[in-house]
Amino acid sequence: MKADALLESQRVRADIRAGRHTGSSRGLAHGFVQCNLAIMPKAYAFDFMLYCQRNQRACPVLEVLDVGDPVPRKLAPAADLRTDLARYTVFIDGVRQDDRTDISDLWRDDLVSFLIGSGITFDDAFERAGVPTGKDRWVLRTNTPTEPAGPFKGDLFVTMRWLTPQQAIVATQVSARFPFNHGAPIHVGDPAGIGADIENPVFGGPVGPMPKDKTALFWACGVTPQSAAEAAKLPLFIVHAAAHSFITDLPATSLMTP
């Protein structure tokens, strides 16, 4: 990867920190790993790590920060998790609060941050392989339960994409090379097969009729911890807003399997 390309991830984070970009991270800094975020008090961090280990397709952990440290020293040592995501979702006692663009005033010395691989990471590889990523994709809640750990339990969330049969084959082959970003699809075909709620998408707008030449593919999604947060009723739990991931300085190709 070119040296000047590395600056793109830093430039995008600077725009987010300054409030110049407030939308989705989709389409930004192609070629860099993007991560989902989960922040909680230290008292709950071990159980959450265990939850992630038991649900690795949805929650592949890439970095766990030291207690009280907002700087992801492995993935983006010049970043700050308190300011460098465009939107944060906050739960207090399991109740969702208004989304924020900055969580500096909520920061505490006992907080532990987890960065979890995001499927947005392989968008660049999809595009280069001829698989479109700009439309026909949604984040959905399913009624498929995750495996619990401590107070953490809840429903699996998925990313649904509509692709032609040929695109679906390529997308499966490409995403399978990104095991730390959810890997290959977990389901293909009827949304009812995994209990996906297409009537109430979490992100992506209304789901209309699917074209006859396309099929639905479903990937495990890093929004899943939001469901666990609701069930756990932690005094404070902060996650990225759906599709507003953290952009790292790590090249996506570094996490691809041969």
Cβ atoms of 93 and 235 closer than 8 Å: yes
Say what the pLDDT of residue 30 is: 85
Say what the pLDDT of residue 5 is: 44
Which class is 122-220 in CATH? Answer: alpha beta
Phi then psi for residue 171, to 5 deg, are -60, -40
CA-wise closest residue to 106 among 8, 257, 220, 236:
236
State which residues of the chain have pLDDT below 70: 1-6
pTM, rounded to two decimals? 0.90
What digits encode the pLDDT tens for the residues 117-132? Answer: 999 999 999 999 999 9
CA 27 to CA 9: how far, in whole Å?
12
Asked if the domains at 3-121+225-255 and 122-220 fall in one CATH topology, the answer is no
How many CB atoms lie under 10 A from the CB of residue 88?
A: 22
CATH architecture classification, 3-121+225-255: 3-Layer(aba) Sandwich (3.40)
Say what the pLDDT of residue 26 is: 85
How many CB atoms lie under 10 A from the CB of residue 231?
A: 15
Angle between helices 45-54 and 224-232 (to 10 degrees): 140
Q: Which two tokens stand for residue 142?
A: 């399913």
Domain ranges of the chain: 3-121+225-255, 122-220
CA 155 to CA 245: how far, in whole Å?
20
List Cα–Cα distances, 113 to 59, 121, 247, in angstroms: 13, 20, 15
- Alpha carbon distance, N-terminus to C-terminus of the chain: 17
CA 140 to CA 191: how far, in whole Å?
10
Say what the pLDDT of residue 3 is: 43
